[in-house]
Amino acid sequence: MTYAAGARLSTFANQQRLPRLPVPALEDTVGRYLKSVRPLLSAAEYSQTERAASTFTKDSELGPILQRRLLKVDAEAPHSWLEDIWLKKAYLEWRDPSYINVNWFALLADNPDFPLATDAARGRPTPVQIGRAARLITHMLEMNEALNREELPADMQRDGPLCMNQYKWQFGTTRIPKPGCDVLVNQYPSTARHILVMYRNQTIEVPVYNSDGQRANISQITSQLALATERIDSLLASQALPSVANLTAGHRDDWTRARAILEQDSGNRESLAKVDSSLFGVCLDIDVDPQDSLDAERCIKVFNHSDAGANRWFDKSIQLVIMNSGRLGVNCEHTPVDALTTGRLLMEVGERERGPVKDTKPCADLGKPAPIQWNVGPEVVQIIDKVRKDAGVLAGNLRIVLGQMESYGAQWIKTLGVSPDAYFQVALQAAYYRHYGQPAPTYESSSLRKFLHGRTETIRSCTEESLAFSKAFGDRDMPVKKKLVYFQQAIAAHVELSKAAAAGQGVDRHLLGLRTQIQSPEEAERAWLFQDRAYVKSMSFALSTSNVTPGERFRGGFAPVILDGYGINYAMDRNDLKFSVSEWLSSSVTDAPAFRQTLNKTLEDLYEAGEYAKNQK
């Protein structure tokens, strides 16, 4: 991705140039679907799936009817036929906790201007923590102001502009629990005057603008944060305060019920409005041993789920998390915005943080930080206790390990004449086959932002070609030269799939759209394609993957999407490859440390094969 160069267009100047996301032809999608499931099925299973697909697409059957209904949705949608369907089905109707299951997390690079306070006292905020937080808050506010003025340069790719609509949902956005289907609330331009600070599991409204809209300078924000922590320390010294924020880590129905009870009180309604409207969250963590914060895996765990979901408001679209050592991470709610989009903002903030301090004049009449008050009765306390217990179990079930290939990176991969992303995906398929002796249904996220209001499509990375290479790669009797032929075929297949997905010609989003057009149980029984067992099998993604390159300042992750699967987050920098592997410990199938070792060995073996190929030229 590149940013606009030369004369700057306004942030949204290219929106009218963007095409609408197409509705693919039914026969094309079903054909791609059949090709995607072929490596996962036996000959008998594939024959049955072919029959189900053929029946589904006949003129007299349900497929064409669903397609016509979806085309009508497209004709009536203001921007994209997929937009509302994806928001509801992928996110807002999800009732299990957003915590861990939906939210993504990352460790960001250290700032040399703020050396880590490794000798800090556990349980206390530090000047490094407060000082770095103030700088970060300032740069986040600068980004929001640039968006409000439409001065953030538009994202561009080589073949044209990308949709910037997601940026309207970065600031002042919160997910609100509702029965059956949550909602998003936000304001664009985002003109709230305050941020939400979390400290010792308490919520604090911290003004960062005065009533005239003048931004506080860095010194003032530093003082605001120090005063906020002092006020919470004072309150907790005299009384026990409920941790209402813990509710955001719970099952969405538990949180819905608790919020409905809270909203019966006018004071609570005002408190919730302060949280919901805040520009973003800042979590000041003091309970991690500063020595532990030197370990990246320990940091990743904390930024993901802290102590049973404490000291976070997981419904905020962006939360900066700063440890008392000065380490920085983020926890972001995935519903309104994709990780790469938020990642661009965070990378810009990181760039600005490393520059010289350019402080502004202090603003007058800045309001003081105010702990947000809650009136909590026994029923809500009971729900909080339940959520803390459930969140602790969920957090204890997730394991995340980090991996890195330091001997080579994207620069070397390109010398082979192949796409770095395709290279890693093919390596991942080979590693899984080497580890388990079978192929893995695989999800790779592909951006649809070349289309108006585009989000993502799935690249089904497990192909017949990648399976053939995986088998060949483990064949000790096969010459390396022949293995590399299979490798190039697997790479070419992945590149074609990637191009199709980015062009709106994937499989999963279209099939999802068709499924949402089913109107009765009788129709559901006639939807032969979806009744076939191969459909569920192909969507049980044993590998859920996302490329977040560049990764020089960004190490993130997410949870697996099935019990017996892995979540693989990876980034390919010039001279190294970084990745994380997550798993559910309750699975009897997965073993993240062992799979990391297999993936490392596979990447090493591929390097040797690549060097052999180069030497033969």
**What total of structural domains would you count in the chain?**
3
Evaluate whether residue 157 is within a structural domain: no
- Cis peptide upstream of residue 550 (ω within 30 degrees of 0): yes
Both 382 and 412 in one domain: the answer is no
- pLDDT, position 24: 98
Q: Is 34 a member of any domain?
A: yes
CATH of the domain at 115: 3.30.559.70
* Residue 124 belongs to some domain of the structure: yes
Q: Is residue 159 part of a domain?
A: no
The confidence score (pLDDT) of residue 3 equals 42
Active site residues: 334
pLDDT of residue 617: 65
Question: What pLDDT sits at residue 304?
Answer: 84
Q: List, as one string, the DSSP characters of 482-522.
A: HHHHHHHHHHHHHHHHHHHHHTT--SHHHHHHHHTT--SHH
Single residue among 487, 522, 539 that ends a domain in this structure: 539
| Regions of the chain with pLDDT less than 70 | 1-8, 617
Alpha-carbon distance of 76 to 595, in angstroms, equals 47
pLDDT of residue 554: 84
**CATH code where residue 552 lies:** 3.30.559.10
265 and 118 co-located in one domain: yes
Distance CA 204, CA 371 (A): 4
Pair 143, 348: CB distance under 8 Å = yes
CA distance 103 to 112: 28
| Residue span of the structural domain in which 135 resides | 101-150+171-357+371-399
Q: Are residues 388 and 535 in the same domain?
A: no
pLDDT tens for each residue of 446-466: 999 999 999 999 999 999 999
Same domain, 83 and 129: no
pLDDT value for 534: 95
Does one domain contain both 178 and 297? yes
User: Does 617 share its domain with 547?
Assistant: yes
Asked if residue 8 is part of any domain, the answer here is no
| SS3 call for 38 | helix
Residues 535 and 614 in one domain: no
Q: Which pLDDT belongs to residue 6? A: 38
DSSP 107: E
User: Could you give the strand order of the β-sheet that contains 281-285, starting from the edge strand earlier in sequence?
Assistant: 370-371, 202-207, 194-199, 281-285, 318-323, 328-332, 104-108, 554-557
Q: In terms of domains, do 588 and 521 share one?
A: no
Is the same domain home to 389 and 412? no
Chain-centre distance of CA 301, in angstroms? 15
Does the residue 454 lie in any domain? Answer: no
For the whole model, what pTM was predicted?
Answer: 0.95
Q: Are residues 519 and 417 in the same domain?
A: no
Q: Is residue 5 part of a domain?
A: no
Would 366 be classed as within a structural domain? no
Instruction: Let me know whether 469 and 582 are in one domain.
Output: yes
